[in-house]
Chain A
């Protein structure tokens, strides 16, 4: 599937995005590593949807505007973007940091959101169960522990050391730290408003996730009793990469509804 690169100006800020496929709109929000590695599941989804994949502020080719200090600014920027593009009935698929951004949008308004599929989302904290400190471990180590399969992890670690990835990865880390350094990748005030998410929610989690442990799936379940939760076996923090076909089938099933 061919994706086309575009640049929008939203609220004065340059937002780079890739768009491909046709159908109802689907907004994919990437995780803390940005789109240094393109998830091929997006090509699968573009067989059925109009898939819109922005670089979040400061990531990839999107600028880091001075008005983005935290995740709430990101949420409002994305909401401005959906308005500007006049998208309605948007399927939001968010991974990790992007799942957090999706939830921050959804507690503000689900008027343009059809449904939310969240893959190992950040955004909340479970006392006594820290996430991996992605700001302390080196990028290659982080890439290694993102996978359940040690061979996939080793290959990802080797790729993380290639310098063409490294320069972009550094900018992405700065963009991620701006939003997630303190407190680490969550907003203490998000969970008190999760009841405002009126769209259907699917939560997917790899059973061997070492970045955000699977106990977070249960915690989201307790906060959003209406959410459908599915555990993906033999998958780490990137189930949509590691178990692409299985996760694609799960997403298709949910997003059709």
Chain B
């Protein structure tokens, strides 16, 4: 199994009172609440943490994209990935992901990813995402076209990376007369493509298509849905496309905290994970995260009916019980991840070892403890320890 250290780069110095005042840390939270001096310290600390992960033997480090929010401070993960390109030496650098479809011309991002891949000698992993609903408010793109643009942008980018130029791309949303990438990527035919998701049948069908076989990464989800969606990938590959999905196409991402004891771990992690879920994540309205057309009418009806989207009041106990986060002593964390691997067989694990308001010393201790006491037991895991895919459960 390959283990990656992902850093969301939340604004850890967030004033917790903003939740009551502005309802959400997304889109509408005034940027006067961002202190550039604190931001300077945070960016450098977070980059240090990712560089430390490289030194400690993680297989990868990961960054992502969010706009106009204290939840994550990376409107451009290309910037952070570039900073890591020269400071890390051996690990993969995963952009999980970039929303190519939000750009007027996705070729600019394809060029930047190719640069990072060439500079690092082929250490880039490129994530293709649509962006969460709020990004459509921040950047103006029409959510009604989100899925169409996402698929068309992915086709454009893969062709730009692989096809000898110049060629004309003639799509519905993107019409680009000259596509001719200098540089083209180091990895051949192109960098690995991952699809991070919180669970989407349509994404899985698209990612698992034999022409793509993109890695599907299930994030931030209860253990039951992780298992269901990861099995869905194998099931669709087998039944719809007639091939057996390799376990290295399947990944799971979750916040992880390793303390000295179970009790100590919960006590230490509690304020920071609860700040992440109760202050940094909630939105001002359902439609802010699920704007019209972003998802199917049926799914949106379900959400509006149940108002199920998170608006706060989450406890660390409920997150642990549902298996959304893994918290405990080294033995507990190791066992839970190995149990999940035995049941689900993912060969990619993306850990989020820094979250919410967590201070630097606690993050570093968590990263070191995980690398020393948990990771060595995970990296040797292969399909031999996986119980195997049982379609009946899919």
Contact = CB atoms under 8 A, between A and B. Distances in A.
A2 interface: no
B297 A136 contact: no
Interface of A: 133, 135-139, 141, 163, 166-167, 170-171, 173-174, 176-178, 181-182
B143 A166 contact: no
Nearest to A138: B285
Given A167-B297, A171-B297, A141 B144 contact: no
B304 A136 contact: no
B195 to A, nearest CB: 24
21 contacts: A133-B137, A135-B291, A136-B284, A136-B287, A136-B288, A136-B291, A137-B287, A138-B304, A139-B304, A141-B285, A166-B301, A170-B292, A170-B300, A173-B292, A176-B292, A178-B144, A178-B293, A181-B142, A181-B143, A182-B140, A182-B141
A144 to B, nearest CB: 13
A177 B144 contact: yes
Interface in B179-229: none
Interface string B273-313: 00000000000111110011100010011001100000000
B28 to A, nearest CB: 9
A139 B144 CA distance: 17
Contacts of B301: 163, 166-167, 170
A174 B288 contact: no
A138 B293 contact: no
Nearest to A66: B172
Interface of B: 27, 136-137, 140-144, 284-288, 291-293, 297, 300-301, 304-305
B292 A135 contact: yes
Looking at A135, A176, A182, the one whose CB has the most chain B CB atoms below 10 A away is A135
A163 B136 CA distance: 26
A166 B304 contact: yes
Q: Describe A's contact surface by its main secondary structure.
A: helix
Given A136-B285, A137-B285, A176-B292, A181 B144 contact: yes
A47 B201 CA distance: 51
A88 B140 CA distance: 39
Contacts of A176: 292
Q: What 9 A-B pairs have minimum CB-CB distances, sorted nearest first? A: A177-B292, A173-B292, A181-B142, A138-B285, A174-B292, A178-B144, A174-B293, A170-B297, A182-B140
Contacts of B287: 135-139
Nearest to B305: A163
A196 to B, nearest CB: 27
B289 to A, nearest CB: 10
A56 B372 CA distance: 62
A170 B144 contact: no
A166 B307 CA distance: 13
A207 B136 CA distance: 32
A174 B305 contact: no
A35 B202 CA distance: 31
Contacts of A163: 301, 305
A176 B292 CA distance: 9
Contacts of B297: 167, 170-171, 174
Looking at A139, A141, A163, A181, the one whose CB has the most chain B CB atoms below 10 A away is A181
Given A166-B305, A167-B301, A170-B300, A177 B293 contact: yes
A163 B300 CA distance: 12
A178 B297 CA distance: 14
Given A177-B142, A177-B293, A181-B142, A170 B304 contact: yes
Contacts of A135: 137, 287, 291-292
A137 B171 CA distance: 33
Contacts of B291: 135-136, 177, 181
A24 B142 CA distance: 39
Contacts of B143: 177, 181
Contacts of A166: 301, 304-305
Contacts of A177: 142-144, 291-293
B173 to A, nearest CB: 10
B286 A138 contact: yes
Contacts of A174: 144, 292-293, 297
Contacts of B285: 136-138, 141
A174 B142 CA distance: 10
Contacts of B284: 136
A234 to B, nearest CB: 28
A163 B137 CA distance: 26
Contact of B142 (A136, A137, A171, A178): A178
Contacts of B304: 138-139, 166, 170
A166 B305 CA distance: 8
A166 B27 CA distance: 26
Contacts of A136: 27, 137, 284-285, 287-288, 291
A137 B304 CA distance: 12
A75 to B, nearest CB: 19
A136 B23 CA distance: 13
Given A135-B137, A136-B284, A136-B287, 4 more contacts: A139-B304, A167-B301, A174-B292, A181-B143
